[in-house]
Amino acid sequence: MNFDFQALVDRLPALLAALTAPALLYQVGVLLVSALATWLLHRIYNEPLRARIYGHPQHSLRRFSLRTLQRVLLPAAMLVGVLVGRGILRTMQHPVHLLDAAVPLLISLAAIRLLVYGLRKGFPVTPQLKAWENIIAGSIWAMVALHLVGWLPAVETALDDIAISMGGSRISLLATIKLLALIAVLLTLAFWVSGVIERRMRASPNMTPSLQVAFGKFSKVFLIGLAFLLAIDAVGIDLTTLTVFGGALGVGIGFGLQRITSNFISGFILVLDR
């Protein structure tokens, strides 16, 4: 790969002039002022908002609404600041291309945080779940940001070039990332749906506790398996290749896992009998 250092040096004056142009500095100033105002708003209202949240019952609608407000408050407040600053610069006949790009990024950030928080409600609240909520929301927002600025195709091409060949199959880094992301999304939906099913079964007066447990576990295992199969098929992996895994699993059960398998099936039958 040839790198023309002299060409880069020749372009430095033009690059510095563009970075220090008043039009760009005004827009950066609007972003900084909006970020500072948002941070101050967070410092002022975060603790009172948390106190109001914990003052309501765990599953109440008011608590859910306040939690939702807490997640969109920062991007929404910064969006208001950017919109106001953009309107002022437009009245002064200044370019606002940077602010035009910031508006959909902030809107998408608020929408993604809402979506991920809504999906999270199907799981028990744990510190690990809260950490994964931020990671998933940040990953989705990064992809949306790359798409909005027009860099996503170039990133996809670069990731697709990193690949290994196994027999007649080509496995690229892009396909692996897509598979993992799709599995994560489908597993999230599977756990959410299974949680809804379990809650409905527990509330049913016509089912014994053993049947509630048995069908709850069965629905969870079925939905998780379905999520894996759908993800593998969606990224283009031939499902017939899983016959090799099925054969290996059968051999393993035949030679070393008879007792584990029989205990699992016997336990399931006992639960149904009760």
Query: pLDDT tier at 34 (50, 70, 90 boundaries)?
Result: very high
Question: Looking at residue 209, what is its pLDDT?
Answer: 72
Cα separation, 138 vs 260, whole angstroms: 41
| 30 pLDDT more than 80 | yes
Cα separation, 221 vs 5, whole angstroms: 58
Of the listed ranges 3-7, 173-177, 234-238, 260-264, the one predicted with least confidence: 3-7
Cα separation, 93 vs 242, whole angstroms: 62
Question: Looking at residue 64, what is its pLDDT?
Answer: 74
Cα separation, 216 vs 156, whole angstroms: 40
Q: What is the 3-state secondary structure (H, E, C) of 146-192?
A: HHHHCCHHHHHHHHHHCEEEECCEEEEHHHHHHHHHHHHHHHHHHHH
Domain range list for the chain: 8-150
> Which DSSP letter does residue 195 get?
H
Question: Looking at residue 37, what is its pLDDT?
Answer: 92
Query: pLDDT tier at 3 (50, 70, 90 boundaries)?
Result: very low
Relative orientation angle of helices 173-203 and 97-120, to the nearest 10 degrees: 40
Structure tokens at 3: 């790198």
Question: Looking at residue 241, what is its pLDDT?
Answer: 57
Query: pLDDT tier at 234 (50, 70, 90 boundaries)?
Result: confident
Mean pLDDT computed over every residue of the chain: 75
Question: Looking at residue 6, what is its pLDDT?
Answer: 56
What is the average per-residue pLDDT within 4-19? 59
Question: Looking at residue 1, what is its pLDDT?
Answer: 43
Closest C-alpha among 226, 197, 234, 229 to residue 213: 197
Question: Looking at residue 117, what is its pLDDT?
Answer: 77
Q: Is residue 27 exposed (0-12), middle (13-18) or buried (19+ Cβ within 10 Å)?
A: buried
| 167 pLDDT more than 50 | yes
What is the average per-residue pLDDT within 156-182? 78
Cα separation, 146 vs 143, whole angstroms: 5
> What is the phi/psi pair of residue 125, to 5°?
-75, 120
pLDDT in tens, 35-74: 999 999 888 888 887 887 777 776 667 777 777 788 888 8
Question: Within 55-126, where are the H helices?
Answer: 61-91, 97-120
Are the C-beta atoms of 249 and 256 separated by less than 8 Å?
no
Question: Looking at residue 190, what is its pLDDT?
Answer: 80
Cα separation, 193 vs 226, whole angstroms: 12
Of the listed ranges 155-159, 178-182, 186-190, 253-257, the one predicted with least confidence: 253-257
More confident residue, 177 or 264: 177
> Which DSSP letter does residue 257 get?
-
| 128 pLDDT more than 50 | yes
* The residue type at 199: R
